[in-house]
Structure 1
Amino acid sequence: MKIVYMTYGIHYSGGMERVLSVKANYFAEVLEYEVYIVITDGKGRSPFFKFSDKIQIIDLGINYRDLVGMNPLKKCIPYFLKKLRHQRKLSRLLNEIKPDISISMFQYEASVLHKIKDGSKKIIESHFCRAVDLLRNKEKHGISKYIAKYLFKKNSKIASRYDCLVTLTEDDLRLYDDVKSVRCIPNPLTITPPTYVLRNSPASTESAHDCVEADFPRDRKNTNILLAIGRISYQKGFDNLVKIWADIEKEFPNWELHIYGSHEDRPYYEYIQSMIQESKLNRIFIFNPTDNIEKVYEKSDLLAVTSNYEGFNLSIIEGMSYGLPVVSFDCPCGPGEILRGHDCGVLIAPGDNRAFANALRGFMSNSELRKRYSDKAYVRAKDFSIDNIMGKWITLFREL
């Protein structure tokens, strides 16, 4: 089978790029499909995540991002010309490859791919939260409100022209009620955690031969780590996390807060740094993204998610696969669907920093509580194993 993925670039360290690398590698290495990734804005930059040597990466060199920051009126014609060139080059390429499945990541190619007659079944993936668009539209006024409504409806029209739209959550799926063919397939785990015996269980459901105790450092060292992962931006709500940490830092001298994320939003990043300095917090550490995130989860004890909104939140299932209990705001979309009803984490009403701090206190002061939730987190994470999730994709391909 031939599969072509399309997106704007793979040099970023975001969750969408990470998931793309895992899915594409699975198709190429495990199932031995012929896999292509077609990008528009590579500019010679190397992928942040590792892609199999069996995957062909093709940059069309359209470079839409060159228009970012340009006056909206002045960029209309250049953007239109780029779209025409994009459709022409992509059409030529797909008719040469003759793929069975073509997949848009809902980037610049979304309005182009469905027009191309190459014989492939066409899928579009949504990695964003539509509920947030609805909330933002309500806050807009005047002409900006009409533009927002137009773009919202336009995305539905684009999605309806594909053979199937795939969302990451059931909540997001329900907001595409005007699209006929919609399927929910969550993100898979992008890492392979060590196998370990479930804590506080009278007997493991797995044999001793298959299940080996891993050397988890939690509760075996002098310093415990509260972990947060995500781009340093408003979306991830790290301003709230700093306020929450300021409320509890002095109570827990053996705990540190570690934040891993990119700093593209410099004003917000500098705002976070100023908050830390003004509050005189000396046990918050911000690190750059790492391609060895497994080591980060392995040395951590608890995961905090203070996002204002999500498309899914990959760090939750990754952290749970390493046995991390989770405290998260119940924001749209993702955390609630992952955590609710599984006793592997605590959901907090969005914006309730006091309740969030109290939930952290409960875990940080009680190692036995952490262990109980850790066992449940590890079990829940298995629902998102690569084999389980990729099986859903294979089923979809067969049904199209």
Structure 2
Amino acid sequence: MKIVFNTDQIHLHGGIEKVMATKANYFAALPNVQVIIVTTDQQNLPPRYRLDSRITLIDVGVNYERTKSYFSLTNIKKAVKHFRKQKALFKTLKPDAIISPNFNFDHYWLPFIKGHSLLIKERHNSRFFEEKARKTASFLKKIKYQLLDWTEAHYDHIVVLNKDEAAYVKTRNAVVIPNPIETSTLWADINQKQVIAAGRISPVKNFGDLVKAWQQVQEEFPDWQLHIYGEDYLGTKAILEAEVMQKKMENNIHFKGSVSNMLEVMTGYSIYAMSSKTECFPMVLLEAMSVGLPIISYDCPNGPRNIIDNGEDGYLVRYNNVENLATELKSLMRNTNERARLQANAKKNVQRFTTEMVMKQWEELLNLPHV
């Protein structure tokens, strides 16, 4: 069987890139399975995550101008090039299955150039806010949503990461398969006076609420530290750093940049904190649980509640409530025994999402023989 992963790039840090590498490596190790990753914007850069040597990499060299609108003249011309090269490539490759894990121009034409391939779209972002926007959409936006739904009806499957997101698929072809996580023998040191948060430093991650909460936290715990990991996005980091300086918390809050060994880094912390506006199925929570790191997270739509067993391996706090976030952080920081209990449960509960468990669902979806 020939499986094509169709995406923009595999050189950046990110949940989509990490999960795709895990799945591609799993498939490549199966007998009689050939895996190909087709990219549009790789720009001769190496893959960010380890890939099995049996995987073939093909870049069609479109290289969209990401600082410009998709509908700029420059990118429209590139989209035409993309369509032609991709159509010719798929005609040559004749894949049995095409898996597309992100949203690109080709979302709208893949169903019509796939040939006889099984075509699967993965949704890695929550459609919670889109669902709300549909209810008050203008006439033109309603036409846009209708076009989107019509296109997605021509996919064989729309894979969503949790049952809440399945409700946003209008085309009755939704399949729920969560992200996988590889098991880890590492354990977080829950006696450290440090809290970790991670993710692209962008508005949707809402680290600003975590900074506000920490202003209350450090009044009682001045010897504790908050470390935030991730790449800057559109200058968001500078805004947060200015807020930290203004509130005189620069000795307690530190931005640590991106790392390639997140699991090892997580072992130096006692608590993982998440204050996102929305999350679909955040890999970072699975990583935290895999090393037994207790979690405090906003109950944001819709990922955390589908990962965290509230009160058992972490705590879900009221959405967009800084006061509640600070209160729960302080409560867990006071109680080492509670952190130990959550740690043990996290290590056990994360087994629901192991690579072996999740990839069996993918094998069934692709009608692969079990080995």
Q: Shift of the alpha carbon at 1:94?
A: 1.6
Deviations for 1:189-245, whole angstroms, at most 9, x for unmatched residues? 1x4310xxxxxxxxxxxxxxxxxxx665332xxx42211011111111100000001
**More displaced 10-residue stretch of structure 1: 235-244 or 343-352:** 343-352
Match of 1:44 in 2: 44
Query: TM-score of the superposition, structure 1-length normalised?
Result: 0.86
Q: Is the 8 A contact 2:292 2:343 kept in 1?
A: yes
C-alpha distance in 1 between matches for 2:96 and 2:187: 44
Match of 1:278 in 2: 246
Pair 367,31 (structure 1): closer, same or farther in 2 beyond 3 Å: farther
Match of 2:113 in 1: 116
Q: Is the 8 A contact 2:229 2:258 kept in 1?
A: yes
Q: What amino acid is aligned across from residue 319 of structure 1 in structure 2?
A: A
C-alpha distance in 2 between matches for 1:131 and 1:373: 29
Q: What amino acid is aligned across from residue 149 of structure 1 in structure 2?
A: K
C-alpha distance in 2 between matches for 1:31 and 1:192: 23
C-alpha distance in 1 between matches for 2:35 and 2:68: 34
Equivalences for 1:20-99 in 2 at 5 Å?
20-30=20-30, 33-64=33-64, 66=65, 68-69=67-68, 72=71, 75-76=72-73, 78-99=74-95
Match of 2:22, SS state, is helix
Q: How many residues align?
A: 366
Percent identity of the aligned residues? Answer: 31
C-alpha distance in 1 between matches for 2:102 and 2:224: 40
Equivalences for 1:1-400 in 2 at 5 Å?
1-30=1-30, 33-64=33-64, 66=65, 68-69=67-68, 72=71, 75-76=72-73, 78-108=74-104, 109-136=106-133, 145-176=138-169, 178-189=170-181, 191-194=182-185, 216-219=188-191, 223-266=192-235, 268-281=236-249, 282-340=251-309, 343-398=312-367
Q: Is the 8 A contact 2:41 2:59 kept in 1?
A: yes
Q: What amino acid is aligned across from residue 7 of structure 1 in structure 2?
A: T
**More displaced 10-residue stretch of structure 1: 379-388 or 31-40:** 31-40
C-alpha distance in 2 between matches for 1:263 and 1:47: 20
C-alpha distance in 1 between matches for 2:262 and 2:70: 39
Match of 2:307, SS state, is helix
Match of 2:315, SS state, is strand
Q: Shift of the alpha carbon at 1:47?
A: 2.0
Q: What amino acid is aligned across from residue 193 of structure 1 in structure 2?
A: S
Q: What amino acid is aligned across from residue 47 of structure 1 in structure 2?
A: P
User: Where do 5+ consecutive residues of structure 1 fail to align?
Assistant: 195-213
C-alpha distance in 1 between matches for 2:326 and 2:50: 37
Query: TM-score of the superposition, structure 2-length normalised?
Result: 0.92
**More displaced 10-residue stretch of structure 1: 24-33 or 346-355:** 24-33
Q: Is the 8 A contact 1:91 1:118 kept in 2?
A: no
Q: Shift of the alpha carbon at 1:71?
A: 9.5
Q: Shift of the alpha carbon at 1:323?
A: 0.8
User: Where do 5+ consecutive residues of structure 2 fail to align?
Assistant: none
Q: Is the 8 A contact 1:224 1:300 kept in 2?
A: yes
**More displaced 10-residue stretch of structure 1: 275-284 or 126-135:** 126-135
Pair 359,30 (structure 1): closer, same or farther in 2 beyond 3 Å: farther
Q: Shift of the alpha carbon at 1:62?
A: 1.5
Match of 1:303, SS state, is strand
Q: Shift of the alpha carbon at 1:67?
A: 6.0
Q: Is the 8 A contact 2:188 2:266 kept in 1?
A: no
Match of 1:197 in 2: none
Deviations for 1:323-370, whole angstroms, at most 9, x for unmatched residues? 111111111120111124571111112111111111111110000011
Q: What amino acid is aligned across from residue 355 of structure 2 in structure 1?
A: I
Match of 2:112, SS state, is coil
Match of 1:114, SS state, is helix
Q: Shift of the alpha carbon at 1:284?
A: 1.0
Q: Shift of the alpha carbon at 1:87?
A: 2.3
Pair 32,240 (structure 1): closer, same or farther in 2 beyond 3 Å: farther
C-alpha distance in 2 between matches for 1:274 and 1:55: 44
Match of 2:232, SS state, is coil
